[in-house]
Chain A
Amino acid sequence: MSGFFDIPSDLQHSWLGLIGLHLREALLPVLFGLVCALPLAQLCVRFRWLYPPVLWVTTVLYAIPSLAFFVVLIDYTGQTELTVMIPLGVYSLVVLVPAIVDGVRSVPQETLAAATAMGFGPVRRYVQVQLPIAVPAIIAGLRIAVVSSVSLVSVGTLIGNQGALGNLLADAMFYHRPELAVNSVVTTAVLAIVLDALLVGLRVLLTPWMPSGARRKPKAATARPEPATLALEDAVK
């Protein structure tokens, strides 16, 4: 009888190894998303007309089921981690772009005018004023993107066992070991909760200037589609 943490050898990883893999597959796409979203959001702030089409495109991309994404990507990137991570990175944009745009826009007009009047150029103003003030909004967006990404990685099981902890779900069926499914679900959930808590901690660390108890959540981040719902939809598809 195998134990709760005994992982079938076909996965070629220990339980901790799977966690490491899962983290990589979940976090790299969000990092990539953030790197893309920062300049994209700044463009949207500078050129207001750009924001609605950008929002529209990211939402449409988000609506593409991950399986459909995989089918297209497999021709180019094969049955690899990259094939799983590209859709996840694209999905994170739908949360991150509006979070950053709203964060940067939330900087009061007087603050911007004061910065300009003190001789801040546009770059200095962005880096030293707008971005730091947008940190709470950006982290609120990151929290949703990270949690959603952690849950979505599991779909990778369907393309050659690239789902990290999700692979345990398939193995639970193959080997008739339901405890593997429980392990998969619980570990994934704990992973998501821990990452979320770490991000909250990071925000507290970065924003000693915020009144405690009055920390606001940007509206846009909460108005996005629920990641859990979409993960379910993907699983169904």
Chain B
Amino acid sequence: MIRIDSVTKRYPDGTVAVDRLSLEIPDRSITVLVGPSGCGKTTTLRMINRMVEPSEGTILLDGKDITQQPVNTLRRSMGYVIQNAGLFQHRTIVDNIATVPRMLGWGKEKARARARELMERVGLDATLAKRYPYQLSGGQQQRVGVARALAADPPVLLMDEPFSAVDPVVRKGLQEELLRIQDELGKTIVFVTHDIDEAVKIGTMVAVMRTGGKLAQFAPPAELLSHPADEFVEDFLGADRGIRRLSFFPSAGLQLLTAPIVAIDSTAEQITARDTAGAPYLLVTDLEGRPLGWGEPDRLTAGDIRAEHLLSHGRPFVAGTDSLRAALDCAVLSPTGWAVAVDAEGRAAGVVSQQTIAEAIRSAHAEGRETDRAARATQVTKAVG
């Protein structure tokens, strides 16, 4: 565990970059430092590998003061990923990745073999090994940066705005890749970003910092969205935090209706016998059960249902795995106001109305309040005890 203990960084000109910051960074999880520019988040990160020395306070790594070991030994035990990757432009991709193992005294072949293994892990094609950084796209370079940081298998990974300089689509891919790699490797990751969406998406814990290097709130993302500590955090989270909070509620509890679903080869009796259960339209599926679109019950002629005459069903959500946010999004975008749920194979699992989703949201919030109350009660007990 990395423990930052009332650390202050004051520069000779009097500016305070970090002000009595205390944080406990849990092992094997992603802790995100987020805040506006000038809030001291990068300074904090750089104090962990001593690229910046604190003016006051101590940083403990597994209970030991980080100043007690040689600085370069400390740094080689922590992977570091920087914005724009910071690759060595004069070395090939494979040699870039092999840098730290080589410094640790590995043989050339062993280090390169390890580098190739990491290229695969971060999703880089093996044919890129002998290329130079200028021949790679920004996203690929960033993957090389991640692979290089992981090369010597360090327990700690420090990431300084690693995905800020790539376009949103590539960034989304890199974020998902990071989460996947983290699932496999379980590193202790400290991640700096100015993007609150990124923080909420990838963080196990999020530390919101404010200008002047003060900690505003340290909490899991869901709690951050439901209970911002103050106006600053609330502002920083942005206007649609209510909607974004729905990402943390599963759609598993939604009551899905299967009654308004008909297959494309249904007979006239089957169509008229359908109880639409309040739905104004019927969802027509193909023979495998995949949704094709919405049709008005009166206008569906048995044996002559054509997909091109149906109303678009919009983007469906995956029942159970997607969040309430995804379900609500589908319902809002659907021309009928009803969301279509599918299973993992893309077969229609049911339909659900906006009203039903709204009820699910209300009850999820109520449950959230219950757990909060319980949590606060325990805190009070602890404080009293």
Contact = CB atoms under 8 A, between A and B. Distances in A.
A209 B85 CA distance: 16
Interface string A100-113: 00000000101111
Give the size category of A's interface with B: 20 to 34
A85 B158 CA distance: 53
Interface string B97-133: 0011001000000000000000000000000000011
Interface stretch (B73-81, B205-213, B219-227): B73-81
A132 interface: yes
Interface string B78-90: 1010111111111
Contacts of A113: 51, 82, 86
Contacts, number: 71
Interface in A196-237: 207-211
Among B82, B84, B89, the most chain A Cβ lie within 10 Å of the Cβ of B89
B102 to A, nearest CB: 10
A133 B71 CA distance: 25
Given A111-B86, A209-B134, A119 B73 contact: yes
Contacts of A211: 134-135
A1 interface: no
A127 interface: no
B72 interface: yes
Interface string B185-213: 00000000000000000000000000000
A135 B87 CA distance: 17
B43 interface: no
Given A118-B75, A209-B132, A110 B86 contact: yes
A135 B90 CA distance: 10
A118 B100 contact: yes
Interface in A31-59: none
A207 B91 CA distance: 10
Given A111-B89, A132-B90, A209-B90, A117 B134 contact: no
Nearest to B74: A119
A117 B82 contact: yes
Contact of B82 (A110, A119, A135): A110
A116 interface: yes
Nearest to B96: A114
A118 B133 contact: no
Interface of B: 49, 51, 71-76, 78, 80, 82-92, 99-100, 103, 132-135, 145, 148, 158
